[in-house]
Amino acid sequence: MWIAATFLLGSALATVPQEPASRPDAPVSAEEPWHPHFEAAERSDAGTALIAWQAAAECTGRVGIAHATITLERRPIQGGFLGLAHWDAEGVYLIELDAKPERMAEVIVHEVAHAWIQAGPPTLVEGRTELLADCIVDKRPGLANLQWDDGRTLHRMPDLLSWNNMEDHGPALLADARTDAYLGAARMVRVASLLLPEGALWNAEPMTWESFRAALATVDHGDRLLKILDGGAEAQRTALEDADLDGLPLLAELILQTNPNRWDSDEDGWWDGAALGVPHMAVALPFDGSPMCTGLASEPGTQTSTMSGGNLRGEGHPVAKIRQTQPGAPLLVELTGKAEHVTGGIWAVVHGTHLQRDQRCTHTENATVWAAQSEFSHVIPEFLVALAKVSQRAELRWGPTTGRMAVALGPSTTRIDGQVVQISAADVEQAVRTGKTEELATLAVALHRVWDNGTRQWPVAAAMALSLAE
Ligand SMILES: [Ca+2]
Ligand SMILES: [Ca+2]
Ligand SMILES: [Zn+2]
């Protein structure tokens, strides 16, 4: 089984140590495989295309079909496409581009992938091209975003069995039917990729509905997918719905036995669409920007950087950032930037030169708590229990908050700094001495609340804390 969600999004800093380039799975021969010459007015377009070409050759184990030269041209495209690959019997020779700068690389990756996937029904051609595009990004982290999908409901998606993308050029159809068809084709092929051996959907050309059916007939759950495909547009739309925006359509959630209405079915912090094989020490990052424990600490002066990945698609491109409150304190990692109109999720791994395992930070579904001073590590378990209790009380009274809590135990002053509640060493010491951990929790919850609701005033927080005490 191959999970389509293991794609790297790239690194946040230029200092990331590159992953070793060993690719034991690459069946391409040791000698440099053939590639066309890419000609473009924008040099970066040609560079992106060449890197995508080499990655696609590794993904598929075969050579793309193209003329000796592929021209890339930025210009308005008839029909309003963001990109369009032109090919004849000898393969791709022209790629037209009309995407916004932030999506240009993603579109180039898609069009280059068409050098491997040209023949067959449009649903299979486009869906398989999107799948190969994701593999390209997986092979070359940071080259481009994953193929776009904002998780929308596919209201206007036509029957994927009969969809013809060469017919619907009308501008009115542009924003709905065609977009929905492309997204539906991609989602359907991604579900198929969960069932089939890796690469089965692109390592040979052409693929027809007959060969697609034959491949699925031999694998578990394949009949389920085929039944939906034959069930008409409405059945397909329902099966390809991604209600909880975890990057898994309903059919995939049914197959994987996850909850189609919960981003994270088992509440372990990992969304359902996360890869089964994420890197060692990777952390799933919440979109609210709250920090998560990395399980690491670094010596003062250590260079650290993050590498992130996942299956996030859509408009927002938040970036993983390291938070270290003071030298020697635990390292945390959080997202900055908006993630709106997206589906899927992001994980991050922290790299660095002198990193040590560290137990002074704990995160749960609702909170991250760490000891800014080592001597407070032992307080964390008890504090977390009190925090859960008090948070529940606060939620019953005032409703849910928009973000998770983050609490640092032991800085010099008690305050709220952005999303992080800081509880001073003096306050922690006093609470420990008098056995009043719960009071500490009421203070933390109150401070978080006044930040979350925008009040941001001490007297309000103090009154809230008082009213939360039992
Ligand atoms: Ca879902
Ligand atoms: Ca989970
Ligand atoms: Zn295409």
Q: What is the CATH number of the domain that holds 216?
A: 1.10.390
Identify the band that residue 298 occupies on the pLDDT scale cut at 50, 70 and 90: confident
- Would residue 314 count as lying in a domain? no
Residues 74 and 207 in one domain: yes
- Boundary (domain end) residue, out of 192, 224, 241: 241
Domain housing 158: 32-241
Taking only the tens place, the pLDDT of each residue in 345-363 is: 999 999 998 899 999 999 9
pLDDT tens digits along 128-181: 999 999 999 999 988 999 999 999 999 999 999 999 877 655 555 556 788 999
9 assigned to some structural domain: no
pLDDT tens for each residue of 56-93: 999 999 999 999 999 999 999 987 789 999 999 999 99
Residue 174: its pLDDT value, please?
59
Ligand 2 mean position, distance from CA 264 (Å): 4
State the distance from the centre of ligand 3 to the C-alpha of 193, rounded, in angstroms: 18
**In the structure, how many helices (H) and strands (E) does the chain have?**
13, 19
- In angstroms, the CA 162 to CA 156 distance is 14
- Which of helix, strand or coil describes residue 295? strand
What is the 247 CA–ligand 3 centroid distance (Å)?
20
Note the pLDDT of residue 303: 87
Burial 422-461 (b: 16+ CB within 10 A, else e): bbbbebbeebbeeeebbbbbbbbbbbbbbbbeeeeeeeeb
372 plus 229 within the same structural domain:
no
Share above pLDDT 70 across residues of the chain, in percent, rounded to a whole number: 90
The three-point CA angle 125-120-87 to 5° equals 75
- From the CA of 103, how far away is ligand 1's center (Å)? 24
User: How far apart are alpha carbons 199 and 116 in whole angstroms?
Assistant: 12
259 located within any domain: no
Tell me what the mean pLDDT of segment 329-350 comes to.
92
Q: Which H or E element spans position 332?
A: strand 330-336
Nearest to 372 by CA among 438, 427, 334: 427
**Average pLDDT of every residue of the chain:** 89
Neighbours of ion ligand 3 (CB under 5 A): 126, 129
Please count the other Cβ atoms lying within 10 Å of the Cβ belonging to residue 191.
25
Q: Is residue 356 part of a domain?
A: no
The pLDDT value given to residue 26: 46
Q: Of 9-13, 52-56, 73-77, which gets the smallest average pLDDT?
A: 9-13
Structural domain includes residue 323: no
Q: Which of 214, 241, 268 is the C-terminal boundary of a domain?
A: 241
pLDDT for 373 equals 87
Can you give the pLDDT at residue 12? 34
Domain contains 142 = yes
- Chosen domain end from 191, 223, 241: 241
Please tell me whether residues 235 and 378 are part of one structural domain: no
Ligand nearest to the CA of 126: 3
**Total structural domains in the chain?**
2
Residue 24 burial (10 A CB sphere; 0-12, 13-18, 19+): exposed
Secondary structure (3-state) at 20: coil
User: In this predicted model, what pLDDT tens digit does every residue of 83-95 receive, in sequence order?
Assistant: 999 999 999 999 9
Q: Can you tell me which residue has the tokens 């209790």?
A: 389
**Shortest-distance ligand to the CA of residue 267:** 2
pLDDT digits (tens, 9 = 90+) for 224-274: 999 999 999 999 999 999 999 999 999 999 999 999 999 999 988 899 988
Ligand 1 centroid, distance to 398 Cα (angstroms): 29
Question: Cα 374 to the chain's mean position, in Å?
Answer: 33
The pLDDT value recorded for residue 462 is 93
Secondary structure of the chain: what % helix, strand, coil (to 5)?
Answer: 35, 20, 45
Is residue 201 in a domain?
Answer: yes
**Does the residue 4 lie in any domain?**
no
